[in-house]
RNA sequence: GCGGUGUUGGUGAAGUGGUUAACACACCAGAUUGUGGCUCUGGCAUGCGUGGGUUCGAUCCCCACAUACCGCC
């Protein structure tokens, strides 16, 4: 059974949307935050812990699973869900971002991208057809088109050529996609340029995908202003009845701004990566547990949080675990940080129901930034 | 008791008669947005065992003391 989306309501004062995703595993509400599980694992967490966080879709990565263990192994296991024992919806990223982020000498041609395997230096060649074929094998619920993800600093001319090529790649990928239980999403690019985003959105929608995402944001120090522009310039051309996915975004304020602009789903490595580096997201801002001030702070990370970590452990203990490089610390913080973002989307859904999104944003900023928001990009 | 050697930041240590005492670890503080569990960026001895002396100038040379280790009686 293929995943489907239903739009339930649009907020009165903004473009905030309340929706519902139906899958064979159950029904999930949007807006939604999706944690990232690159190697078929949300780093440090068991699937039981993931269920407890009340997340819906989780991400896995085509590029990484292609290299290790290989899509044939995953397929032999019965697909990604069986392989990792996660009985919930899974979205696979196409590998386009990895080409941008970790492939050193990259060589982008019409055919595809040639680059070095980050694990052993082998020369690899990834094409739209290959990416889709791997995702078909992985049997995720949502596959992503193979796109080029240019840096925010790319020139107008470069982006113009790039979005044309990404469109041709999207078409090629769609032509070979052949998993009837899997959705395929298109990706809008175009930096912070209004005409490029419009063109990319309109042309991508013409190809008729199951959902659409906005890519190329939050890369290499792009300003928040440019990110919001990229959304604003893309969303008007996307169909109302299809899911809208803002790729890679997970800063709490960006999720709120995205929802206000009509985005349904988000993903980000930040809750788990921040956890591994000793940071916790809280109602009153991001804190660094490595700071000496938490040495004998025996309170919970966030007194308003309902997660397992906050119900059972103190800042001082978690600080000790992180300082001693114990994996339990990373795990407890991952649990908390993901729950924080999932809880944020729960509150956003409630705010949309009550047509109070803008008020919610003001209150959130007041607590999270302590009135300091706006002083930095 | 005699002789030898050493004493530099939280730690291990480099170093030189002349501007801000190398480096590493630890510590302190930042960064991290479709995840290389990688990593990056700052800060951190107003001080070179103590007290004298020589010198324009001493962490570096001289003397005494303290202290540590080694050897001998």
Domain boundaries of chain A, sorted by first residue? 4-268, 276-368
Q: What does residue A288 show for φ and ψ, rounded to 5 degrees? A: -105, 105
Which chain A residues in 84-103 sit with Cβ < 7 A of strand B? 93-94, 96-98, 100-102
Asked whether residue A330's C-beta has any atom of DNA/RNA strand B within 7 A, the reply is yes
Rounded Cα distance between A217 and A264, Å, is 16
Q: Which nucleotide is nearest to A43 (CA to C1')?
A: B37
Q: Which of these, A143, A137, A142, lies nearest to A78 by C-alpha position?
A: A137
CATH level 3 topology of A4-268: TIM Barrel (3.20.20)
Q: Give the integer Cα–Cα distance in Å for A257 and A270.
A: 17
Nearest nt to the CA of A62 via C1' is B34
Residue A106 confidence (pLDDT): 72
Does the nearest atom of strand B lie within 7 Å of A41's Cβ? yes
Note if A297 is an active site residue.
no
Give the integer Cα–Cα distance in Å for A98 and A327: 26
Q: Is the CB of A204 under 7 A from strand B?
A: no
Nearest to A271 by CA among A229, A230, A301: A301
Q: Please name the residues in contact with A86: beta carbons below 8 A apart, sequence gap of 6 or more.
A: A47, A50, A58, A80
Tokens of A19: 């929706």
Q: Is the pTM of this model over 0.90?
A: yes
Torsion of CA A348, A214, A187, A11, to 10 degrees: 40
CA–CA separation, A163 and A159 (whole Å): 6
Say whether the CB atom of A292 is under 7 angstroms from strand B: yes
CA A306 – CA A194 distance, rounded (Å): 41
Token pair belonging to A199: 């063109």
Let me know: does A58 contact A90? Beta carbons within 8 Å.
Answer: yes
Q: What is the pLDDT of residue A372?
A: 62
Asked if strand B contacts A34 at the CB level, meaning under 7 A, the answer is no
* pLDDT in the model for residue A103: 62
A 61-80 residues, CB < 7 A, strand B: 61, 64
Q: Which nucleotide shows the minimum CA-to-C1' distance to residue A293? A: B28
Nucleotide minimizing C1' to CA distance for residue A185: B34
Q: Is the CB of A191 under 7 A from strand B?
A: no
Please give the radius of gyration of chain A, using alpha carbons only, rounded to the nearest integer: 20
pLDDT in tens, A288-335: 999 999 999 999 999 999 999 999 999 999 999 999 989 999 999 999
Cβ < 7 Å from strand B, A residues 213-272: 213, 215-219, 224, 247-251, 254, 267-270, 272
Whether nucleic acid strand B comes within 7 Å of the CB of A288, the answer is: yes
Predicted confidence at residue A105, as pLDDT, reads 59
pLDDT score recorded for residue A135: 97
Does the active-site annotation cover A139? no
Q: Which of A139, A141, A254, A267 is catalytic?
A: A267
State which residues between 115 and 154 of chain A bring their CB within 7 Å of strand B: 118-119, 144, 147, 149
Distance from C-alpha of A210 to C-alpha of A341, rounded to nearest angstrom: 25
pLDDT in tens, chain A (377 residues): 999 999 999 999 999 999 999 999 999 999 999 999 999 999 999 999 999 999 999 999 999 999 999 999 999 999 999 999 999 999 999 999 988 786 655 788 999 998 888 878 788 899 999 999 999 999 999 999 999 999 888 899 999 999 999 999 999 999 999 999 999 999 999 999 999 999 999 999 999 999 999 999 988 778 999 999 999 999 999 999 999 999 999 999 999 999 999 999 999 999 999 999 999 999 999 999 999 999 999 999 999 999 999 999 999 999 999 999 899 999 999 999 999 999 999 999 999 999 999 999 999 999 999 866 654 33
Nucleotides of B under 7 A from a protein CB: 27-39
Q: Which of A93, A139, A147, A210 is catalytic?
A: A93
Q: Is the CB of A10 under 7 A from strand B?
A: no
pLDDT at A377: 34
């Amino acid at each position: 059974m293929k995943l489907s989306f239903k739009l339930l309501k649009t907020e009165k004062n903004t473009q905030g949307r309340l929706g519902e995703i139906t899958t064979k595993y159950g029904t999930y509400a949007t807006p939604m935050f999706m944690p990232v599980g690159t190697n078929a694992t949300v780093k440090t967490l068991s699937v039981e812990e993931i269920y407890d966080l009340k997340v819906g879709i989780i991400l896995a990565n085509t590029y990484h699973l292609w290299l290790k263990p290989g899509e044939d192994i995953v397929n032999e296991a019965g697909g990604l869900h069986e392989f990792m024992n996660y009985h919930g919806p899974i979205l696979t990223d196409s590998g386009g971002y990895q080409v941008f982020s970790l492939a050193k000498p990259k060589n982008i041609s019409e055919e595809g991208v040639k680059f070095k395997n980050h694990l052993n230096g082998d020369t690899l060649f990834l094409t739209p057809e290959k990416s889709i074929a791997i995702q078909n094998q992985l049997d995720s619920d949502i596959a992503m088109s193979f796109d080029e993800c240019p840096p925010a600093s790319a020139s107008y001319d470069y982006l113009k050529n790039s979005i044309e090529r990404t469109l041709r790649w999207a078409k090629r990928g769609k032509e070979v996609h052949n998993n009837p239980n899997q959705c395929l999403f298109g990706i809008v690019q175009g930096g912070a340029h209004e005409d490029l985003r419009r063109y990319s959105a309109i042309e991508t929608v013409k190809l008729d995908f199951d959902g659409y995402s906005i890519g190329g944001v939050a890369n290499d120090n792009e300003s928040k202003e440019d990110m919001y522009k990229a959304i604003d310039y893309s969303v008007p051309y996307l169909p109302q009845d299809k899911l809208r996915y803002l790729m890679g975004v997970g800063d709490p304020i960006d999720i709120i701004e995205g929802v206000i602009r009509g985005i349904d789903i988000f993903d980000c490595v930040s809750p788990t990566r921040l956890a591994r580096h000793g940071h916790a997201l809280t109602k009153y801002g991001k804190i660094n547990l490595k700071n000496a001030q938490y040495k004998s702070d025996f309170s919970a990370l966030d007194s308003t949080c309902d997660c397992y970590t906050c119900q059972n452990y103190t800042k001082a203990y978690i600080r000790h675990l992180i300082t001693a490089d114990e994996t339990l610390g990373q795990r407890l913080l991952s649990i908390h940080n993901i729950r924080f973002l999932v809880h944020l989307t729960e509150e956003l859904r409630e705010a949309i129901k009550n047509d109070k999104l803008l008020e919610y944003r003001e209150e959130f900023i007041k607590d999270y930034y302590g009135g300091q928001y706006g002083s930095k990009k």
